[in-house]
Amino acid sequence: MCALTGKKAIVTGGASGIGRAVAVLFAQAGATVSVVDLDEPKGSAVVGAIIAAGGQAMFIRADVSRAEDCQNAVAETASALGGGAIINNASGWGLTGGGRAAVYCASKDAVVNLTRVMAIDHGAKNIRVNCIAPGDTDTSMLRDEAKQLGEPVDAFLKDSADRPLGCISRPEEIAAAVLYLASDAASFVTGAILTVDGGSLAD
């Protein structure tokens, strides 16, 4: 049900962390993947790993904060690969507040409502738009956050695991949720915010 055979995908931020895990999993599921990132060495390495494993992928260098780069990335992908469903990456902190993270929380809340609006605007075109709201995930970004806050990394990760499932997620676990939303198994799902946080918001 979650196969992506014959489908095309653009994965922004695909050079590392959750994006990398999504790109790899999508390729394993049969999609042809366009890895979009500013980090060309890491992005090209992801593409190389996908191809070495028998998948299909290409790298596009782009700054997603620039409209022109986004348009070019889509155009290049469309001419070479095609297009796909839209899954935005929000955060649990886009659904609830968090200390010392005002800008981050506000931006992720914007992603949540942007998802809902896009689902309304594009539903008539049969374009589904959903988003994931991950909890703390074992990536370099989480460790960088600890350093930015001046906290010991080990203690920060231990505190981050204080949730019903008792651990932080792996990027591959978040990628599995993205795969579901991109697949035909979610054919009637749009405008949804899928929380993948080990029960943090339920606690």
pTM for the model:
0.96
Which residue stretches of the chain are H helix?
Answer: 17-28, 40-52, 67-80, 102-122, 140-148, 153-160, 171-182
What secondary structure does DSSP assign to 19-44, as a single string? Answer: HHHHHHHHHHTT-EEEEEES-HHHHH
pLDDT single digits (tens) 79-95? 877 777 999 999 999 99
Topology alike, domains 1-84 and 86-203: yes
CATH of domain 86-203: 3.40.50.720
Is residue 104 annotated as part of the catalytic site, yes or no?
yes
Residue of 70, 104, 191, 193 with catalytic role = 104
Task: Report the topology of domain 1-84.
Answer: Rossmann fold (3.40.50)
pLDDT tens, N- to C-terminus, the chain (203 residues): 799 999 999 999 999 999 999 999 999 999 999 999 999 999 999 999 999 999 999 999 999 999 999 999 999 988 877 777 999 999 999 999 999 999 999 999 999 999 999 999 999 999 999 999 999 999 999 999 999 999 999 999 999 999 999 999 999 999 999 999 999 999 999 999 999 999 999 99
Rounded Cα distance, 2 and 175, in Å: 12
Q: Sketch the domain layout of the chain as residue ranges.
A: 1-84, 86-203
Give the orientation angle of helix 153-160 with respect to helix 140-148, to 10 degrees. Answer: 110
pLDDT single digits (tens) 118-159? 999 999 999 999 999 999 999 999 999 999 999 999 999 999
Rounded Cα distance, 90 and 174, in Å: 12
**Please, which residues bridge with residue 88 across strands?**
131
